[in-house]
A and B are shown apart, each in its own frame.
Chain A
Amino acid sequence: DAKTTQPPSMDCAEGRAANLPCNHSTISGNEYVYWYRQIHSQGPQYIIHGLKNNETNEMASLIITEDRKSSTLILPHATLRDTAVYYCIVRGPSGSRLTFGEGTQLTVNP
């Protein structure tokens, strides 16, 4: 699975959009980009995934660059409950395990 790089921490004001970047320059053509988050030692929570098209669900949007070497997770209106560690994970279709990196600690401030 391709390696990912994320900033260690970010801050965001409550109600504003949180944009979390991820670099995955070695991603191969059949690998998906997944985002999970972990709120204070709870079990990781799936947010969204994508292959090459932008994706949106009720939690977030995922923007993947055309060359697929980076992506951005967007929380459109961050709340205090979105404070968590966000993990960007690249995984191939035959892969099963999720390999968690250090992630980005997002702190949403009032």
Chain B
Amino acid sequence: EPEVTQTPSHQVTQMGQEVILRCVPISNHLYFYWYRQILGQKVEFLVSFYNNEISEKSEIFDDQFSVERPDGSNFTLKIRSTKLEDSAMYFCASRTGTGAYNEQFFGPGTRLTVL
């Protein structure tokens, strides 16, 4: 069964450093998402991406964040200058087509630790 994959599974970085989290969505999917979950808190939406542009973003997704689909398979989240409060699990998700009936498939997540 096709699945969303994410790399790395765990990323440790120093505050102020740039990090890139990578995702490979399911191959025929058209909509891509990033969510994050700070330890012990709710899963929070960051951004959605369709047709090579951001279609929606939350207030969390400020200028420090960017997303890109550099080729036909990868979808990346870049954090330009990491802060301690960026430590969280980051989940990528994808879905196909349009309509409410298209569920989102989530990857296993990348645990980001900012020291």
B92 — nearest CB in chain A belongs to which residue? A43
| Among B4, B91, B107: residue with most chain A CB under 10 A | B91
Residue A83, interface by CB 8 Å: no
Chain B interface residue count, Cβ-Cβ cutoff 8 angstroms:
26
* Interface pair A97/B43, CB less than 8 Å apart: no
Chain A interface residue count, Cβ-Cβ cutoff 8 angstroms:
25
B95 — nearest CB in chain A belongs to which residue? A96
The answer to whether residues A49 and B104 also contact, given A38-B43, A43-B91, A100-B44 and a CB cut-off of 8 A, is no
A5 nearest CB across to chain B (Å): 14
If over half of B's interface residues share one DSSP class (helix, strand or loop), that class is named, otherwise mixed; here it is strand
Contact of A45 among B33, B42, B56, B106 (CB under 8 A): B106
Residue B65, interface by CB 8 Å: no
- Distance between Cα atoms of A99 and B60 in the complex (Å): 14
Residues in A lying within 8 Å of B, measured CB to CB: 30-32, 34, 38, 41-46, 49, 51, 87, 91-93, 95-102
- 12 A-B residue contacts at CB 8 Å? A30-B100, A43-B4, A44-B91, A46-B103, A46-B104, A49-B103, A91-B100, A97-B33, A98-B43, A98-B45, A98-B104, A100-B44
Residues in B lying within 8 Å of A, measured CB to CB: 4, 31, 33, 35, 37, 42-45, 48, 55-56, 58, 89, 91, 93, 99-101, 103-109
Across chains A and B, which 6 residue pairs bring their CB atoms closest together, nearest first?
A43-B106, A46-B103, A100-B43, A93-B100, A97-B45, A32-B100
